[in-house]
Structure 1
Amino acid sequence: MSLYRVLFSLLIITSLLAGPAIGDEPTAKKDGERTEKEVIDKKESPKHDSKEHQRKNNESKKDDKQHKHGDQKKDKQKASAPKKPSKDAAKEEESKREAKPKKEVKPAPQKEEQKKDEKPKPSQDDAKDKAEKKDAGDPPKEDAPKKEMKPEPKKEEPTPAKTPAPEPKIEAGKPKQMESKLEPKAEEKHEQIPAPKEAPKPEPKPVPPPVAKPDPKKLAATDLSQVDEDFALQGEYYGKLRLPGGILETTGIQVIARGDGNFVGRQLRGGLPGNGWRNGQLIDLSGKRDGETLVLSQGNYQVLVRGGKAIVVNSAGDTLGILTKVQRRSELLGLKPSSKATVLFDGTSTDKFIDAKVNEKGELQIGTVTKDPVQDFRLHIEFRLPYMPYALGQARSNSGLYIQERYEVQILDSFGLPGEFNECGSLYRTKSPDINMCFPPLAWQTYDVYFTAARFDNEGNKISPARITVQHNGILVQDNYLIPNKTGAGKPEGADARPIKLQDHGNPVVFRNVWIEYLGGPVVTNQAETIVTPEKN
């Protein structure tokens, strides 16, 4: 026994002196140790029969193979498993290994892996401990060093197909530098370079502030684009009505807008002013518009106005007749000047007026006077009144033709009114027109005036009053009337000649086709002399 022990110790010493080779597996060491033991056992027990010795030898070889196979699989699991296996999992793995057919695994690849890893050589004491543990068949403990359990990520060499393309390394803490490399345009200085000077562009005209909507109660429409819904119903209607007994009688109806759908009207027996009606019988009406229909009434007597027609219905509900809307025109509208006339305004020049203003339509505006004074004359003038439905009385399209700046022939929207001494065609506050011939607003109207100035003696005493004849829309409304004195705010009477004034009363009245014939005439000294006036039309 002592000889065997000496030999065993010598083997151990020589193995320790030689040192464990890098990459040798513990299984190889176990195989060497077991072969030495078998030699010693053979020498110690030569008397054993060959069968028993062969059986034991076979069992030892099987155990060695199992140990080798188990140890190799354990090492592979340690290298591939990123986490520590639990004890139960280790036992299950061992049972699976025993059940599977055992194959011999060559230790050469593990040696190469160990060489690649370049792990430090284990010491002799560590080798002895590992050998004793594996001989005893103990399972691997959980607290094994991490270096043996988890392989470094560098061990796994990616295949060429899965190797990603190399990406540029970005140094930590320098994101701004990387951005400047990826986007060099951000650092370009083209924007800082001033652009070449261009020719100065004209500054845009300032946009005027939005014009506030006019107060409807101050409406003063000068053309059809500015009117309201009531304007279409306003106007003159003409026709015949059936009276009791079947008699047909000519009738006219004037419809006047008062704003907000309110209307007044009057039914004229015999026709319209200057065309059948001569201040005769009339029926006053009033009503309100409902959509496109206007109902004017007096008690149960009604007039339904819509679509350019006026349907007259009596108190019994019987329809008496249907009148049609008409737009009358003065017979003297557009009258051309005579050979002896002087054109004061034809839309091309204002040389005959002082401080005259003309609108965009070539119409003469209010607030001007003629340059030349007048004595006896014949004057033709055309005017147009604005549509002012809310205005009443003297605020409704007011102006005036001031002769010698002393005598005013009133200009006013008096359509449908009785024709008072301050209405259209009157000698203002002096004499009413013989008939109210005023047309609806926005219709052109005419004044034809024949005037003879007052006569004064050498001492300045008036010996003959001024005389006037006025045709309004071709109908005589002032017939050789002797004017007793100045009218309204006119200048005092005198022997001196003065101009004609177109009064500015704040309403947009306009004029056109103005011409005059100067008739002259000396100062009258004998009251027996008479002034010739134009014939009546």
Structure 2
Amino acid sequence: MNYRIILASLLTAGYFTAGAQNAKPEDTEVWSPEPKVVTTGKSFIDAPSDAIVLFDGKNLNEWVSSADNSKPSGWTLADGAVTVNKAANGGGGIVTKRKFTNYQLHLEWRVPANITGEGQGRGNSGLFLAQIAQGDAGYELQILDSYKNKTYVNGMAGSIYKQFPPLANATKAPGEWQTYDVVWTAPIFNEDGSVKTPAKVTAFLNGVLVQNNTELLGPSLYIGKPSYKKHGPAPIYLQSHGDPSEPVSFRNIWVREL
């Protein structure tokens, strides 16, 4: 019996809606078993000829502020990388000007070598594969310093946030560049808004498979159980988490529409 499909069906039908007002963040935190630690190799992947280059270290022309799409991103550009600026445009993240459906994405990210804090307050950001509404609303592949940093496993790097832990902990030490390679398949909805096929994610972290054609239960939520709402093509969103941890940097971002 496929319990994941049954659970997804219940969530889609709104089975867990009742009592949501009494929910707590801890209700959806999973702490064990912890994924095994994998030591990764070094790699740097250049954009292929048919890719849309979203960031090549030179400018942020493909991005705008998530808080106000009429404004530029406001993040800090230096040394071929862009770094979260929590003071920019009201502290928001950045979103692509373009909207996407299905795609292959490459992105590199880094937390500072002198990172402090612990748990979720340590280099926290997020790669939202589709932002379906303003704010932190979408399907999140977690970005976090998970190198010898304990937290709930469905909230560590490589997880589909608050849904599915990664198949392995392939994070590198703070200060090193980390790589995400992702295949995103957007959900398909029926005319009445019900889910015809759920969203799916295959993701590699530093060359190690961490999500294997994973069927999502809906958009990522900090509190409560996820459920789908009908939407169309959506931008890619990089999160400004707003916690006191040192800011995350990004480089070499490209996408291939599928």
Total equivalences in the alignment? 194
Shift of 1:364: 1.5
CA distances 1:351-389 after superposition (whole Å, capped 9, x unpaired): 111122233323112321100111100000000112355
**Residue type at the aligned position of 1:518:** E
2:252 corresponds to = 513
1:443 counterpart = 2:176 = yes
1:274 corresponds to = 38
Residues 397 and 412 of structure 1 are in contact (CA less than 8 Å); yes or no, is this contact kept in structure 2?
yes
Residues 383 and 512 of structure 1 are in contact (CA less than 8 Å); yes or no, is this contact kept in structure 2?
yes
Match of 2:96 among 337, 352, 370: 370
CA distances 1:42-69 after superposition (whole Å, capped 9, x unpaired): xxxxxxxxxxxxxxxxxxxxxxxxxxxx
CA distances 1:406-458 after superposition (whole Å, capped 9, x unpaired): 11011001102467111111011101101101110000010001010001122
Residues 99 and 235 of structure 2 are in contact (CA less than 8 Å); yes or no, is this contact kept in structure 1?
yes
Residues 217 and 228 of structure 2 are in contact (CA less than 8 Å); yes or no, is this contact kept in structure 1?
no
Secondary structure at 2:257 match in 1: strand
**Residue type at the aligned position of 1:499:** P
Q: Which structure has greater strand proportion?
A: 2
1:423 counterpart = 2:156 = yes
1:343 counterpart = 2:53 = yes
Quote the Cα distance in structure 2 between the aligned partners of 1:470 and 1:493. 23
Secondary structure at 1:374 match in 2: coil
1:414 corresponds to = 146
Quote the Cα distance in structure 2 between the aligned partners of 1:518 and 1:431. 25
RMSD: 2.1
Match of 2:240 among 491, 498, 504: 504
Q: Which structure has greater helix proportion?
A: 1
**Residue type at the aligned position of 2:38:** G
Quote the Cα distance in structure 1 between the aligned partners of 2:178 and 2:227. 27
Secondary structure at 2:169 match in 1: coil
- Higher-Rg structure is 1
1:481 counterpart = 2:214 = yes
Shift of 1:484: 1.1
Match of 2:127 among 389, 401, 425: 401
Match of 1:471 among 190, 204, 209: 204
Identity %: 36
Quote the Cα distance in structure 2 between the aligned partners of 1:491 and 1:364. 33
Q: Which runs of 5+ in 2 are unaligned?
A: 1-35, 65-71, 85-92, 132-137
The change in CA–CA distance for 1:330 and 1:412 in structure 2 (over 3 A counts) is: same
**Residue type at the aligned position of 2:62:** K
Residues 418 and 436 of structure 1 are in contact (CA less than 8 Å); yes or no, is this contact kept in structure 2?
no
**Residue type at the aligned position of 1:339:** S
Residues 330 and 446 of structure 1 are in contact (CA less than 8 Å); yes or no, is this contact kept in structure 2?
no
The 4+ residue runs of structure 1 with deviation greater than 6 A are none
Secondary structure at 1:459 match in 2: coil
**Residue type at the aligned position of 2:215:** L
CA distances 1:305-363 after superposition (whole Å, capped 9, x unpaired): xxxxxxxxxxxxxxxxxxxxxxx6433x2x11122210000011211111222333231
Residues 57 and 82 of structure 2 are in contact (CA less than 8 Å); yes or no, is this contact kept in structure 1?
yes
